[in-house]
Amino acid sequence: MTEITGVSGELPPGKIAIIASRYNAGICDSLVQGSIETLTAAGYDDQQYQVIRVPGAWELALVAAELLDQSDCIAVITLGCVIKGETTHDEHINRSVSDALMRLGIETRKPIGFGLLTCNTLEQALQRSGGTVGNKGNEAAEAVLELLRLSPKLDASTRPV
C-alpha cells in the first residue's frame, strides 16, 4: 500500500486569497495574522497573497467563488467568527456558509481553507484565535498548503500506466 500526502513537496506558483470577515474584528484580525504567518513561513511573500475583507461570515462564499474563478488564484482561506446569541441565527449562518464553501471547493477543485469559528461564547473564540487552543487561521492556511502539495501527487498517482 502506498500512502500519498501533501505534508511535504513543492508548492505551486499563484495567488492565495485570505478572505476575512470584519465582524468580530479583533478575533478575525488574529486569524488573518495566523494565516499570513503560515503562508510566509512556507515561502509565499506578500505579492502572492492578498487579504480581502467582507462584512461578515455570510459573504465569505460569494467572494471566494468570485476569486476562485480567476485563473491565477490557486486557493482561498476563509476566516470568520460567528458566536451564538439568543436565537438560532448562528446555526443558519454556520451551516449555510459551511455547505457553500464545501460545494465551491468540489466544483472548482481548488483548496479552500475553512477558518470559520462557530463558537458558543466569546471566550471560546478568543481561545481559538491565538489562545490556548491555537490559531485556526494557522490551521486553515496549513490545510490549504497541504492540499496544494497533494494535488499534483494525486494527478501522478491516478494516471493509467
Q: Do 111 and 147 contact (CB within 8 A), yes or no?
A: yes
Q: What are phi and psi of 150, to 5 degrees?
A: -75, -40
Answer yes or no: 89 catalytic.
Answer: yes
Q: Do 140 and 77 contact (CB within 8 A), yes or no?
A: yes
C-alpha cell at 156: 501522478
Active-site choice (22, 89, 103, 153): 89
Query: What sections of 17-135 are H helices per DSSP?
Result: 25-41, 60-68, 89-108, 122-128
Active site residues: 89
